[in-house]
Copies of this chain bind each other. A is one copy, B any other.
């Protein structure tokens, strides 16, 4: 592997430039901004590696790029990544323009660099190293790069169903990991599910003067009362039956979770918060992160939100809400329960579903779990941190659950990468180590 690692070190600048090129290409799926152009760019990167490339697509939606590269053995690794990113707002809170891909003090700042363009380029680079140094990768490689992850992968199920023969593999490497504050790499063996909805209340045709509030209904109040009915101040979600399908963690999972380092003070300092929710600390905090479902207000909007005052009675109000789901909560079932809950007391509230995904987990003792962990020990010279599930979500079920492929998630980001937030960034040293980790996984999985 020394030749491979040397090639990676020697070509560091080239890999970083390729990543900058990808980050400078805007690709905001929720706004349909730059999607086609980014798809073409990813395709060109795969063609440069000599991959057999095609667009997998259903009638609607952004293309997923499929690339296959023949390797030495009979085994196949599937790399899952996505080229779409979250909107960059709030813009004033960025220190660098979000699509400038600015390189400052060894960090690359860009919307999407941590989630998930850095990992995609790392994997392309690892494959390139084998191709250039030894001519062939040690395993067959499939790249699957979708463009709809940030909007809940609405077409992934269909794409996977229609192309299951193309996508089959012996294991899957999922999109990202995260180094903790001590620099220990994270390895994730599962994801939570999600249901993302927008609640909308519209009471009248237009805003009116707020002096009329004595007798004209206010949708902002109705939304407030409806939201209040969803979760109480003790953080208990009040939707009837919300928790009924939750499967508790196994004892072994709890044991692994107990070995996750406690970084309470560093996390609090990094976010500028005094306490965690409900005053939770240490093991209890981590256990909650990895076992509890959530109900989160991601956005609220009604009436006048500019500077100063405006005495207006708004005619509509909206809230964006996500529910993170744990095994065996099903998004469709939760949606039905939410509908039942609201229609009783707030029949005027409309629910728009904006995204969903089921939870998924790979066992601790699967071959790819073991190899990812051992390879990480070798590359990082630190004990990796193993998460039986992530607190985040991805469409892992739709790909790996459907095709029955064990899956682990490793990546190039770190504790202060700020995914989905201003000043998203990765460290270049992590990026290079991440390329080497992927290369070693390929070699070890082949043996």
Contacts and interface: CB of A to CB of B under 8 A. Distances in A.
Q: Is the interface of A mostly helix, strand, loop or mixed?
A: mixed
A300 B305 contact: yes
A30 interface: yes
Contact of A303 (B152, B275, B300): B300
A210 B197 CA distance: 14
Interface stretch (A66-74, A129-137, A361-369, A390-398): A390-398
A233 interface: yes
B233 A225 contact: yes
B317 A300 contact: yes
A312 B89 CA distance: 10
The complex is assembled from copies of this chain, and their number is 2
B30 A194 contact: no
Q: Which of A273, A297, A322 has the most CB of B within 10 A?
A: A297
A296 B222 CA distance: 11
Contacts of A210: 294, 296, 298, 322, 324, 420
A218 interface: yes
Contact of A218 (B224, B297, B391): B297
Q: Which of A210, A354, A355 has the most CB of B within 10 A?
A: A210
A393 B217 CA distance: 19
Interface in A217-244: 217-218, 220-221, 223-225, 227-228, 231, 233
B228 A306 contact: no
B310 A30 contact: yes
B273 A203 contact: yes
B311 A86 contact: yes
A52 B297 CA distance: 57
28 contacts: A30-B306, A31-B308, A86-B312, A89-B310, A150-B310, A192-B211, A204-B272, A206-B423, A208-B271, A208-B418, A209-B420, A210-B296, A211-B324, A211-B393, A213-B322, A214-B277, A215-B285, A220-B300, A228-B228, A297-B303, A298-B303, A298-B314, A299-B310, A299-B314, A301-B301, A305-B305, A305-B318, A305-B320
